[in-house]
Chain A
Amino acid sequence: MRIAAWVIGAGAALPGGSERAIFRCVEPTDALLAARLAAGDDHALAEAFDHLAPTVYGAALRVLGEGSAAQDVVQDVFVELWSHPDRFDPAAGTLGTYLNLLARHRAVDLVRSELRRLARQARHHRLTLDGHDPSPGDAVAAADTADAVRAAVSLLPDDQRRAVELAYFQGLSYREVALATGIPEGTAKSRLRLALAKLETVLDRQLLESS
């Protein structure tokens, strides 16, 4: 393909690169990084990881206290950033804060999911007289997180601990928890919400102390 100047207008660059304009250099900012991510710049993702992954990993570890699950959370967080960079609003805070919050929420979701799993497991054992034992690998993998969660639950105030045990370990509904403990259904709900919020904090502190 022969390429020649179609028509070079006034002020056009001269052949030989003799024109040496100086552009305006911009500094890297979170807004620029988000714009680069939206444009599909994977170098920007690598830069974000190199700069922020240690704190994101730390945020996940503080909730989960377990390396493998925390790594999964870090992966979720960065894949989310790459897939939906528009969800980060630079006007609302720094990218570091956004990713740390995302990591914390994902980690707490994992804890909640583990509580639900424990509840299902307890229900299953109650209903199945000759249930099969889990594989040794599964048992070891679940044990660390389960122990941490059970320890955290034991530290809750009595009324909240009782509500969590009924709802998550025995699988009762809000209404059934309310009936079993003689409190209104709304109170049961708020007691469970308070308990979950406290669990997040307790798990944080407990895991920090053990690390």
Chain B
Amino acid sequence: MTADRQDHAVPTGLRERIMTASRQARPAGLAVPQITPDSPMEAFSNAADAFYQLLITLSARDWHLPVLRDLDVQGLVGHLVGVERDVQRCIAGDEAVGSANHVESTQPVALAQAGRAPAATTDEWREAIDRTLAMASEADLDANVAMHGVALRLRDLLVARTFELWTHENDIRAVAGLAPSVPGASTLRPMTELATALLPFGAAFTALHEPIRVHLVLTGPGGGTWDVAVGEPSPEPSELGIVTDVVGFCRLFANRISPADLDVFVTGDSTQATSVLTAAAALALD
């Protein structure tokens, strides 16, 4: 910022008057241009559509590229078929899926894809997605569910699955040499809402006990501003401001980049900022 004109002392009270008038014109935290966020069903459906569009453009060679753990692309899609089946069990009230392991539970379906035609794997995955959408549309989205060690509302599970589909879509894009994709702003918004809501749990998981009030600003379409309390409850927490790009933060939350890959503007203690960003990636979905 450049002060390129003559300064005059600002009258007392003008700052408060302007801050009040501004917040009346637009509440703090509300991003512009305003968007209508996707519902959890829409977000999940949009992520599935983007994933499907990628699958139908892959070459035969792409399907056999190693992509994640011991899986090639076809195996990863098989893993996602297995995840959908567990989501359906979860919606149907099967409590056993609550404690099932995300990889072990889906690995048989992933390995079973070897030798199949890619189109058959694609069709099986798409049918599984459609079945999940059909079951979710009949279910109470506010119901508490548990799956793969995570307990949350069904609506949040669908957004978590949105994260997973977007993340794996980009895993495949990376090995196939394709440009990364970014969800639309209306889809990103529920993703950022979930990521920021889970930040205190990520902090707890990484043993970040120091009480901090984080003023988190995620810039770009789909972003916004959140005030999140992490660490132990305290009447006088430290104040920390973190500003970073919304897509970068989502990639961090998905554990596809580290804090070292992020451009961040910090006000407050940078060591605390590192701890908070590390916490953001601690509940990653694979």
> Which residues of A approach B to under 8 Å, CB–CB?
1-9, 11-17, 19-28, 30, 32-33, 35-36, 38-46, 48-55, 57-59, 61-62, 67, 71, 74-75, 78-79, 82-86, 94-97, 100
B241 in the interface (beta carbon within 8 A):
yes
> Which residues of B approach A to under 8 Å, CB–CB?
1-11, 14-15, 17-19, 21-23, 25-33, 101-103, 144, 146, 148-152, 160, 198, 201, 204-208, 215, 217-220, 223-225, 241, 243, 255, 258-267, 270-271, 273-275, 277-279, 281-286
CB atoms of A32 and B265 under 8 A apart: yes
CB atoms of B225 and A12 under 8 A apart: no
Among B1, B151, B285, point to the contact of A2 (Cβ < 8 A).
Answer: B151
Residues of A within 8 A of B204 (CB): 3
CB atoms of B6 and A58 under 8 A apart: yes
CB atoms of B273 and A23 under 8 A apart: yes
Among B19, B28, B264, B273, point to the contact of A40 (Cβ < 8 A).
Answer: B28
Most buried by A among B5, B160, B204, B283: B5
Give Cα A62–Cα B7 distance, bound, in whole angstroms: 11
State whether A19 and B215 are in contact (beta carbons under 8 Å apart), knowing that A3-B151, A26-B263 are contacts in the complex: no
CB atoms of A36 and B1 under 8 A apart: no
Among B10, B160, B207, B274, point to the contact of A22 (Cβ < 8 A).
Answer: B274
CB atoms of A57 and B150 under 8 A apart: no
CB atoms of B282 and A5 under 8 A apart: yes
Most buried by B among A4, A5, A51, A97: A5
Give Cα A75–Cα B18 distance, bound, in whole angstroms: 5
B166 to chain A, nearest CB (A): 15
Among B23, B266, B279, point to the contact of A13 (Cβ < 8 A).
Answer: B279
Give Cα A38–Cα B223 distance, bound, in whole angstroms: 9
Give Cα A74–Cα B15 distance, bound, in whole angstroms: 10
CB atoms of A32 and B243 under 8 A apart: yes
Residues of A within 8 A of B255 (CB): 8-9, 11-13
B20 to chain A, nearest CB (A): 10
